[in-house]
Structure 1
Amino acid sequence: MTAVDERLSGITVFVHAAEAEGFAEAAGRLGITRSAVSKSIARLEQRLGVRLFQRTTRSQSLTSDGQIYYERCRMALAELEDAEAALDQGRREPSGRLRVSVPTLFGRHCVAPVLWDMADKHPQLDIEISFSDSVVDLVNEGFDLAVRVGLLPDSPNLVARPLGKQRMAIWAAPAYLDRRGRPLSVHDLAKHVGIVYGRPGFNAPWGLKSNDTTTEVTVHSRLKMDDLQAIADAAIAGLGLAWLPCWMVHRHVQAGELERVLTTDFVSGHPIHAVWPKTRHLPSKMRALVDLLVEQIPMFLDTRS
């Protein structure tokens, strides 16, 4: 490694350590050991003649000199990434590493098949997929793109591309409806039990939409879970009504295990977006992925609604 290469490598490690607020987290993102991060930072501090981090047994935080240096290094690396992306636009074959964050169930059912197709079409790509319902910080956690379900907060640092709508409806097992009766109106739901999504101290209401008006309904429930698949399983077992995405229950409807409650007039939807950090030049690997998501995700939603 040349002196220039070592300097750039040290700066990259330093920026990751600053953004991760710790050497161990930076090591995980970079795929190296914590010791390697610590030694790289120590060499950089020795070369600069300043201390960049305050170190304790539990954490590392930037000094005032470290904060100044971080701001300049971050801008310099951003310029280098833009330069690489500008050159990359002329390449035909996407390559390199692609890190994607997706919601757990929607990602498993609808996004993962698209990424498998992406990997098959572009053998020079290495794709990493993280399944989590947490909203990740794309820049600080090192993700290239995230797929998100629901309304997006305004952010000047992110770009979003619509992928479609997740339609939600009430579902129940035919045996349950034969036993308890089929609701014909929203008011009839009061006579039924629900299997609800919730966590301690919080129950997610059902947002029934009719004539462009959304009514939030809270049903009597004896079962509360924070996992949609478990809720679907309980509904199939005949334990009550469930508010679930249409794409998720499609195969159960086809198998006769679930049926829709109320009419399609009461189906509501949540927007789905691909989101990525704003950049002046979109790398070819990102452009190819976004195009594929825009093309294929609506097919999953249409065939599963």
Structure 2
Amino acid sequence: MDRLTSMAVFVKAVDTGSFAAAAHALDLSGPMVGKHIRFLEDRLGMRLLNRTTRRQSLTDFGRAYYERCRIVLAETEAAEALAADQLMEPRGKLRVTMPVHFGRHCAMPVLMDLARQYPALELELSFNDRLTDLAEDGFDLAIRTGSLQDRADVIARRVARQSMIVCAAPSYLETHGRPERLEDLAEHQAVVYRRTGPVSPWLFPREGSPPLEIAPQSQFRLDDLDAIADAATAGMGLAWLPCWLVRERIRTGKLTLLLPDEPTFLYDVQALWLKTPHLPRKVRLAVDALAAALPRFMGLNTAIFPAGSAP
């Protein structure tokens, strides 16, 4: 006899209280239920049930064995569900939180393309720049840029690296001149990002050393990247922005790339999800899609939407 089947019959007999009830629930004959129980007892060399014509009760060993059988059967069902999940089409709600601008410009097109491939997948996207508690807020996945704090309950995977570039409007450069070296940046006005605390410096990699930090003069301090790009386009100063955000403005000549020979600082883009024994297929597919597509979006000479997939 199959041991797992006999375990399942034993557990059902205990749960229902009699061989007859277990036989009815499992669509077996009463004698067949008895054969399964005896098979286990013979194999174990221990009695599992005390049986009389009126009632049955678990032996001390039978009670401990019953609890173990429940665990084994639950794990078996979970393993079979895992295989089924890997084979079936992803479906249901996928809740993702992401930074406002990176989400709109970069991540959302990738996830929309994934939804086109799997019509049963429902996307629920949240755009905000605050750090989100995945468990408390009920999100399946978070996308975050920059450095992260280590957390024991969260898995992180880098899916892209975004290049930071210095740019300015032609009108600004005509009036104030063009910086040719990093040292020249101190002579120029800049539009900088500031949300809370001090203004973060602009970073420029140095081989074998920490990044060079430059704090330019700033008359304008804004907490919105699109607004910084708009102000720079209006000629209000230099800006240090993600390449993907100003790519189209540079292509059309509204902004000019500066210091092209300087290496660009790279901010990591991470996908985060709660640590779990079984990662749902819809989450794994989303992370894989982001890791495959986002790096192509990070350069100056690439389009946000792959050919044929633009909405």
TM-score normalised by L of structure 1: 0.70
Counterpart for residue 60 of structure 1: none
Alignment of 1:248-287 (within 5 A): 248-287=245-284
1:161 deviation in Å?
Answer: 1.6
2:90 pairs with 1:94 = yes
- How far apart, in 1, do the equivalents of 2:129 and 2:196 lie? 17
Q: Does 1:298 align with 2:300?
A: no
What is the total number of aligned residue pairs between the two structures?
A: 227
Partners of 1:85 and 1:283 within 8 A in 2: no
1:226 counterpart = 2:218? no
Hey, what does 2:119 align to over in structure 1?
A: 123
Runs of 5+ consecutive residues of structure 1 not aligned to the other structure: 1-78
> Deviations for 1:60-116, whole angstroms, at most 9, x for unmatched residues?
xxxxxxxxxxxxxxxxxxx9x967962553433001111001110000000000111
1:1-305 residue pairs with structure 2 within 5 A? 86=82, 88-199=84-195, 201-213=197-209, 214-303=211-300
Change (3 A) 1:84 1:129: farther
CA distance in structure 2 between the partners assigned to 1:227 and 1:149 by the alignment: 15
Q: Relative to structure 2, which stretch is displaced further, 268-277 or 152-161?
A: 152-161
Q: Deviation at 1:122? A: 0.8
Cα pair 2:168 2:238 within 8 Å, conserved: yes
Q: Is the 8 A contact 1:149 1:270 kept in 2?
A: yes
Which string of whole-angstrom CA distances, capped at 9 and with x for unpartnered residues, describes residues 123-171 of structure 1? 1111100001111001111000011111222122111121121110111
- Does the C-alpha gap of structure 1 residues 90 and 239 become closer, same or farther in structure 2, counting only changes over 3 Å? closer
SS of the counterpart of 2:262? helix
Equivalent residue number for residue 55 of structure 2: none
Q: Alignment identity in percent? A: 44
Deviation string for 1:181-218 (max 9, x for gaps)?
11122221121101011136521211122335411111
SS of 1:203's partner is coil
Q: Between Structure 1 and Structure 2, whose CA radius of gyration is higher?
A: 2
SS of the aligned residue for 1:156 comes to coil
Q: CA RMSD in A?
A: 2.2
Structure 2: stretches of 5+ with no match in the other structure: 1-74, 303-311
Task: Give the drift of 1:288.
Answer: 1.4
Whether the 8 Å contact between 2:243 and 2:300 is mirrored in structure 1 is no
Answer whether contact 1:174 1:257 (CA < 8 A) is retained.
yes
